[in-house]
Amino acid sequence: MTARMSFGISRVAEKRGYFPVYRAHEVNHCPGCGHSQWLVGRISAECAFCATALPIAEATSSSYAAPTRFVTRHSAAA
């Protein structure tokens, strides 16, 4: 077993490098200034002190990454 496998680091994450995200229900310190007060939206959180914006981890998961599809169905009776 390699060190990478023992720590649970995938090859994709290893190539991507450091990727800070805002995690709900955890203490999040700003990578820009170190404070921990955030203005949280639906897909991003912004530091209240220096305005550094981070994506929200839950909003960037693969289940939300797919583009939204709008389907219109017209009835034949109209």
How many CB atoms are closer than 10 A to CB 63? Answer: 7
Span 18-43, pLDDT tens digits: 789 999 999 999 999 999 999 999 99
Span 54-65, pLDDT tens digits: 999 988 655 444
For residue 31, being part of any structural domain is answered with yes
Query: Between 14 and 70, where is the model more confident?
Result: 14
For residue 1, being part of any structural domain is answered with no
Domain span including residue 30: 21-62
Span 3-23, pLDDT tens digits: 554 555 566 666 777 789 999
- At 73, the pLDDT band (50, 70, 90 cuts) reads confident
In the chain, what's the furthest Cα-to-Cα distance?
A: 65
For residue 55, being part of any structural domain is answered with yes
For residue 32, being part of any structural domain is answered with yes
Q: Which of 43, 64, 62 is nearest to 54 (CA)?
A: 43
For residue 12, being part of any structural domain is answered with no
pTM for the model: 0.58
In the chain, the number of structural domains is 1
For residue 3, being part of any structural domain is answered with no
For residue 49, being part of any structural domain is answered with yes
